[in-house]
């Protein structure tokens, strides 16, 4: 058995519900987080609407006209976690507006570097959890996972999971339907949630044990200092 102790995971719920207790997405996030906790991963949850996080692409939006921005404190949690799982509901087939704000704020940190001169997100893994009662799981997963990968997160195989009911109005994940919670017995959702969670843990373990990525060829500080790749000679030159 792999030892996952020492790993940290942050689950961020970008539901539009005012209260976390009302969120259907949280129920599926909890299923994934429960697997990690049972295997020794230190898990923390953030409910975005519990905080004042304005839209924008800067580290602190109070420097750009907003009177309050809780993002700097949340960023400390993101930066400390080896695993990030983004949870979102579907609306009109897309991730929530709160989810887009989260991605914007993550993008606002993309200029930060680690001690190897790489993106601050290098060596971290990312995945997503999506719920709703209309189509859009795979479409939203594509945009979320692309954004995370572009920033520097490493995306493991099958890094998404979700549940949707029948098209049109109907129960959301976990709603009572004839005395049973909707979606809890869905084998496809159970399988993908389990595999996603384990793949995130396995990859995070490998990256942490390896000390992240080697910085040969991806050191931004070397590029800034005037080093370029000579395509005629596969070595760095000043």
Does some domain include residue 1? Answer: no
Beta strands 228-229 and 180-181, pairing class = unpaired
Does some domain include residue 57? Answer: yes
Distance CA(141)–CA(95), nearest Å, equals 9
- State the total domains in the chain: 1
Sole residue written with tokens 């590029």? 223
The residue range of the domain holding 150 is 8-237
Say which CATH number the domain at 114 has.
3.40.50.360
CA nearest to 103, candidates 90, 87, 81? 87
Average pLDDT over the chain reads 92
Does some domain include residue 2? Answer: no
Q: pLDDT of 169-226, one tens digit each?
A: 788 888 888 889 888 989 999 999 999 999 999 999 999 999 999 999 999 998 776 6
The total of other beta-carbon atoms located within 10 Å of residue 103's CB is: 20
Q: What is the pTM of this model?
A: 0.92
Does some domain include residue 105? Answer: yes
Q: pLDDT of 112-157, one tens digit each?
A: 999 999 999 999 999 999 998 778 899 999 999 999 999 999 999 9
């Amino acid at each position: 058995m792999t030892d996952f102790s020492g790993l940290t995971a942050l689950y961020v719920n970008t539901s539009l519900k005012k209260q976390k207790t009302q969120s259907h997405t949280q129920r599926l996030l909890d299923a994934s987080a429960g697997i990690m906790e049972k295997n020794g991963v230190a898990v923390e949850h953030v409910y975005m609407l519990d905080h004042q996080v304005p839209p924008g692409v800067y580290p602190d939006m109070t420097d750009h006209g907003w009177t309050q921005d809780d993002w700097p404190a949340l960023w400390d949690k993101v930066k400390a976690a080896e695993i990030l799982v983004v949870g979102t509901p579907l609306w009109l087939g897309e991730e929530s507006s709160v989810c887009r704000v989260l991605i914007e704020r993550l993008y606002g940190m993309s200029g930060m570097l680690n001690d190897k001169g790489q993106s601050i997100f290098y060596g971290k893994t990312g995945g997503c959890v999506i719920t709703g009662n209309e189509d859009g799981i795979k479409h939203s997963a594509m945009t979320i996972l692309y954004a995370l990968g572009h920033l520097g997160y490493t995306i493991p195989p099958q890094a998404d999971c979700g549940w949707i009911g029948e098209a049109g109005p109907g129960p959301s994940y976990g709603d009572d339907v004839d005395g049973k919670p909707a979606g809890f017995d869905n084998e496809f959702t159970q399988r993908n949630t389990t595999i996603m969670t384990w793949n995130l843990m396995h990859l995070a373990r490998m990256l942490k044990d390896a000390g992240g990525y080697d910085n040969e060829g991806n050191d931004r500080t070397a590029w800034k200092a005037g080093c370029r790749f000579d395509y005629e000679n596969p070595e760095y030159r000043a």
